[in-house]
Amino acid sequence: MEQPTNRVFSGVQPTGNLHLGNYLGAIRNFVGLQETHECIYCVVDMHAITVWQDPKELAHNTREVAAAYIAAGVDAEKQVIFNQSKVSAHGELTWVLNCVARMGWLNRMTQFKEKAGKNRENASVGLYDYPVLMAADILAYRATHVPVGDDQKQHLELARDIAQKFNNDFAAFGGEEFFPLPEPLIMGAATRVMSLRDGSKKMSKSDPSDMSRITLTDSADDIAKKIRKARTDPEPLPSELEGLKERAEADNLVGIYAALADMTKEAVLQEHGGSQFSSFKPALAELANEKLSPITGEMARLMEDTAYIDSVLKSGGERADAIAQPILAKVKEIVGFV
Ligand code: TYM
């Protein structure tokens, strides 16, 4: 079985409130990789249900993430766009990898600790096992590269550990170097977009405050308002990167500007150093609108045509399944399933 050298896999959860962090940290980078890689982009509905989802909203949000991929510029014909639950290999491989991964490894996962909070006894088993399903997503395609935001780094390291342990445990049975160790691709000036209300918290879908995030369904007015009200400090912008230290909110807005404009933060500061937020914020709002409105407009248009989105997911699911099935069959053979 041939091992590809340039296969990309990534996923986004359909849990609503798709936001600027998801776009700048992940989805935007999905687009550029198509030039050089074979790309498989998944809507991870099985991950979403690790926390209860309203079934109707789950279906809507699944289509919305697919629409975001397409609207951002992923080519649904050349690449594979599908939702996870369509391909049974994800669940089947998770079981095998559950038996490879160690409790001690999962106990170190910071995202589980954050999401489960104080009431850990009441978290779903799925939430605990979430990173193993994520490893299975990637390894089911023997993907080599995984574009993600900074917050997924630890999960990617776990996926590498699981791949390595599988290869070692079954080295004598055809497992040696069977799974490539997937490389994280953490790209751009905004790998960790922070909340607009609190520069110490990352922008997230689950923040109770809608003012904390810019979403991919916000209007131009919403975006302008959220940026205008974003928390900042009273100092003007510095001219050097050094001056953003200890100024998390300023650093965040400069990072967002840089990522949207495809510039470095240094270049943004060269242009805007010395400006007050009263002039930087409107410039940022204008830039955000210019870059996001074609995408949000196209997403809204696509969401009117659910038959088209469903056809993309169906065809993508079939093509994903055709890649994963032989890999899963080989895994079964390696572990000794008759
Ligand atoms: P999810 O749905 O939480 O986030 C989707 C992508 O957006 C990135 N991201 C951010 N980037 C920058 N700043 C932020 N504030 C921010 N918030 C989120 C995430 O890093 C991610 O790349 N576990 C994954 C989904 C997943 C997956 C996979 C990813 C499941 N299986 C296999 C890659 C490969 C997640 O929770 O994404």
* Residues labelled as active-site residues: 115, 202, 205
| 317's tokens | 């699911």
Q: How far apart are CA 194 and CA 168, in angstroms?
A: 39
Q: Ligand 1 pocket, 137 CB below 6 A?
A: yes
Where does the pLDDT of residue 320 fall: very low under 50, low under 70, confident under 90, or very high at 90 and above?
very high
148 lines ligand 1 (CB under 6 A): yes
The CATH number that applies at residue 48 is 3.40.50.620
Beta-strand ranges (E) seen in 220-273 are: none
Digit-coded pLDDT (tens) for 207-249: 999 999 999 999 999 999 999 999 999 999 999 999 999 999 9
Give the pLDDT of residue 172: 98
CATH number reported for the structural domain that contains residue 230 in this entry = 1.10.240.10
Domain-embedded: residue 198:
no
Whether residue 260 is found in the same domain as residue 316: no
What pLDDT digit, counting tens, does each position of 132-171 carry?
Answer: 999 999 999 999 999 999 999 999 999 999 999 999 999 9
- Assess whether 294 and 311 both reside in one domain: no
Residues facing residue 41 across a β-bridge: 10, 81
Atom 5 (ligand 1) nearest CA: 12
Q: Does 75 lie in the same domain as 57? A: yes
Ligand 1 centroid–CA 152 distance in Å is 6
pLDDT value of position 74: 98
Q: Are 12 and 53 in contact (CB under 8 A)?
A: no
315 with 233, same domain: the answer is no
Same structural domain for residues 80 and 148? yes
Domain interval for residue 183: 7-191+306-335
CA of 288 to the centre of ligand 1 (A): 21
Claim to verify: residue 257 and residue 151 sit in the same structural domain = no
Separation CA 45–CA 273 (nearest Å)? 43
Residue recorded with tokens 């359909």 = 14
Whether residue 101 is contained in a domain is answered as yes
Residue the block writes with tokens 């975006």: 223
Give the position of tokens 């003012």: 211
Tens-place pLDDT, residues 1-56: 788 899 999 999 999 999 999 999 999 999 999 999 999 999 999 999 999 999 99
Residue 44: strand, helix, or coil: coil
Q: Residues 17, 78: one domain? A: yes
10 within ligand 1 shell (Cβ under 6 A): yes
Predicted local distance difference test score (pLDDT) of residue 178: 98
- Residue 319 token pair: 């093509």
Phi/psi at 147 (5° precision): -75, 125
Q: Do 284 and 331 sit in the same domain of this protein?
A: no
State in Å: Cα 55 to ligand 1 middle: 21
CA of 58 to the centre of ligand 1 (A): 17
Q: Is residue 196 part of a domain?
A: no
Taking residue 122's Cβ as centre, other Cβ atoms within 10 Å add up to 8
Mean pLDDT for the chain overall? 97
Position 250 confidence tier, pLDDT thresholds 50, 70, 90: very high
CB 83 near ligand 1, within 6 Å? no
pLDDT at site 247: 97
Residues 260 and 322 in one domain: no
Would you state the pLDDT for residue 1? 78
> Is 275 found in the same domain as 148?
no
Is the Cβ–Cβ distance between 81 and 41 less than 8 Å?
yes
Residue having the nearest C-alpha atom to atom 37 of ligand 1: 12
Number of domains in the chain: 2
**In terms of domains, do 164 and 218 share one?**
no
Question: Which H or E run includes 202?
Answer: none
Asked if 292 and 216 count as a contact pair (C-beta separation under 8 A), the reply is yes
Q: Residue 28 falls within a domain, yes or no? A: yes
Q: Which atom of ligand 1 is nearest to the CA of 111?
A: 36
- Single pTM value for the model: 0.97
The DSSP result for 119-185, as a single string, is -GGGS-HHHHHHHHHHHHHHHTTT-SEEE--GGGHHHHHHHHHHHHHHHHHTGGGTTTT-S--PEEE
Nearest Cα residue to atom 22 of ligand 1: 148
